[in-house]
Chains A and B, each alone.
Chain A
Amino acid sequence: MNSIEKISFIDRSKLNEKFYFQSLLEEAYRCNLLCEAEIKKIQFECLELLAYKVERYNQGDSSSIRIEDAENIMISNLYTIGIWLKSFQSVDDAIKELKGTKIRDIYNYGRNKIDTLLRSTNHIHKMVIQNMIHTENHTYSSTVIDGIKGFFKLYNPDFEAQEIHITADYPLCNQVENLAGIEFIQKYLECIYYENVFCSHFSTDNIHHMLCGYDIGYKDLVINIFEQVLTTAIGCNLAGIDAVNLNISEDQINILYDLLYNKSKEDIEEIILKANENLQEELSINSIPLKQYMKKSLSSIISVVCHAVKANTLEKVFIAQKYPELNPKLNFSFGDKMDDKLYRITIEEIMQCRFLSDKISIIKNSIHSLADLEELFFDAELSVDEITEVFKELELIELSALAKHHPFKPDIEAVYLSEAEQEFRLCLHNFITNLPFAKKNRILNTITMLDDNNKEI
């Protein structure tokens, strides 16, 4: 026999999950489920509760409180009451509870519920840490470990139950919306847990190389790893290759173009939904919540694929792996610095020279390492034209090493660098930019090949 559901005047889905209690009262009043006298009684009890909480907040030291603090405490109280009322299966039962129970008692039930939620969220966090993706992406690890730990440290359910205090920077594939406080964090962690479970079907190396294909500097990007993995895995499935390898070649991208080209959005949606089912079978994914999470994630993937088919950029969506460890690395030494006294004499000599040709000949004869030359640019008070002339005397690798060590970042420079160093960086940048195309490209390639720590070697 089918279960009989009670018909309610209030549509539960229309209630605001973030401000549940307030929206429930509004709807109940609108539908005449609560009369004006009942609403006034509830309001007065809420204010009584606020007075009690403010006294606790001030610890008896003060009889008054700033309005913004009082408002925050009020929001916290209403949030806690909402948490309890949400636990009723039907809205009618929640209204019955409001009519028959004192607000102070409902608040206490809600407060206990928050304690339970805190314990369960802590447990989920432990599970998430156990099945973390081993990745170099900073946002992922700093949010999942340190950020959430910070939440547990700062969360104050008595007076700021609706706050989370952290920014939760790591973006989810399905963003958590319309929740606050502990409910938000619990949902956020649940999502990360499912994303981790899915990614655990792929090897750490494959994920790393696939993300390198997405962007070589992915460790500094704020991206969702699960979304990239799922998209590429679906691409592999569509191209008829093993999804676990997470690698799509150029030929396979062409196959995908043939498959998806000139198809309507509905057709592409159907193809991707089918591929998702096949992928679940291939990876033996049986967990229903994970399947639901994957299905929920597909809407954004489908729209990205549709757009990429039109723009001929499928290779940016279904990503081929890159192996940065195979790229040759150049080590370049800046050399030893000369004796301080000798350096001072050389700089004074250069500064006293009237003609550029004399300055250049001193530099050529006395400066024998790039470390000294680098300092000379800041100390010898050379003009822009003189610096440019010195650059002309340098080898390609020397220019590349200088450019690697002194990148041109005008946004940051004003704060951290001296005027001489800013001028030097601008000169170097302009000099390289104005070089012939082939030479400029060779320098840019050399810069990428140079090891990050080349100066110390």
Chain B
Amino acid sequence: MSFELSIFSTSIIQKQAVNEIIKCNDFTFNYGLVLTNQQAIELVETRSFVLKENGRIEFGGGVIDKIIKEFCDSPYISMHNYSEILNELIEIFYYYKNETLDLICDDDLIKFMKNSFDGICQGSLELLSGRELDKLASNLRYGYDPDFSEDDSSEEDEEDEYE
């Protein structure tokens, strides 16, 4: 008797997820961003692949629509890189869900990604993944504040020494 969880990646559920992504076009159209049906399918496939890679499972619509709605007003995203960035953001998101040991909720992680992407990373996905999210994950794992920075604390220590 098989109760394998992979049974969830059925075509019906995939189709439902594609429809949800396409629906987001109504919202992102105002920012000049639209996904084709093929691109939506790609995103869902990326999600399935990344979930499997990271040993996770998802029920319901997932977070793709949340990522789309959060990132659509970014000054670093335009039609020519929209789909490519979304695919990478999905990969990064699930990777760091594991790395943060699920200590941060979906909405907060997406918000952190958006703020860092638009702010300190200036649209660089490498910096977002390799530096900012890595720092966040290690802070959460060691029980520090998500914004804690070792550089800040060492500067403070130095100041204390001069006082």
Known: A29-B1, A39-B1, A46-B3. Contact between A65 and B60, CB under 8 A? no
The answer on a CB contact under 8 Å between B5 and A70 is: yes
Q: Distance in Å from the Cβ of A260 to the closest Cβ of chain B?
A: 51
- Cβ contact within 8 Å between B98 and A66: yes
Q: Is B92 part of the contact surface with A, judged by Cβ < 8 Å?
A: no
- Shortest beta-carbon distance, A454 to chain B, in Å? 47
B-contacting residues, A69-89, CB 8 Å: 70-71, 74, 78
Closest B residue to A22 by CB, please name it. Answer: B1
In the assembled complex, B102 has its CB within 8 A of some CB on chain A:
yes
Tell me the bound Cα distance from A456 to B157 in angstroms.
Answer: 48
Bound-complex Cα distance A50 to B57 (A) = 11
A65 to B5, CA, bound (A): 12
Do B8 and A47 have beta carbons less than 8 Å apart? yes
Instruction: Kindly state whether residue B106 has any CB partner on chain A within 8 Å.
Output: yes
Quote the shortest CB–CB distance from A47 to chain B (angstroms): 6
Tell me whether A26 is interfacial, beta carbon within 8 Å. yes
Q: Say yes or no: A61 contacts B57, CB within 8 Å.
A: no
CA distance A54 to B98 in the complex (A): 16
Q: Give B9 Cβ to nearest chain A Cβ, in Å.
A: 11
- Residues on A with C-beta less than 8 A from B51 are 64
CB <8 Å contact, A62 and B102: yes
**Smallest CB-CB separation from A25: which chain B residue?**
B1
**B61 contacts A63, CB within 8 Å?**
yes
Which residue of the partner chain B has the closest CB to A46?
Answer: B3
> Is B56 part of the binding interface, using a Cβ–Cβ cutoff of 8 Å?
yes
Asked if B56 and A66 make an inter-chain contact with CB atoms under 8 angstroms apart, the answer reads yes
Query: Given the complex, which residues of A lie within 8 Å of B60, measured CB to CB?
Result: 51, 63
In the assembled complex, the CB of A44 is this many whole angstroms from the nearest CB of chain B, namely: 8
Contact of A63 with B58 in the complex, beta carbons under 8 Å: yes
Verify B102–A63 contact, CB threshold 8 A: no
- Quick check: A66 and B5 within 8 Å, CB to CB? no
- Chain B minimum-CB-distance residue to A29: B1
CA distance A65 to B107 in the complex (A): 15
Q: Mark B89-108, 1 if CB is under 8 A from A, else 0.
A: 00000100110001001110
Query: Does B32 reach chain A (CB closer than 8 Å)?
Result: no
Pick from A51, A63, A67: contact of B106, CB below 8 A.
A63
The 6 closest A-B pairs by CB, nearest first: A61-B105, A51-B59, A64-B58, A64-B56, A25-B1, A67-B55
Give me 21 A-to-B residue pairs in the complex whose CB atoms sit less than 8 angstroms apart, sorted by A's number.
A29-B1, A39-B1, A43-B2, A43-B3, A47-B8, A50-B59, A51-B59, A62-B102, A62-B105, A63-B59, A63-B60, A63-B63, A63-B106, A64-B51, A64-B63, A65-B56, A66-B56, A66-B98, A66-B102, A70-B57, A78-B3
Q: A50-B5, A70-B57 provided; 18 other pairs, C-beta below 8 A?
A: A26-B1, A29-B1, A43-B3, A46-B3, A54-B59, A55-B59, A62-B105, A63-B62, A64-B56, A64-B63, A64-B106, A66-B98, A66-B102, A67-B56, A67-B57, A68-B55, A74-B3, A74-B5
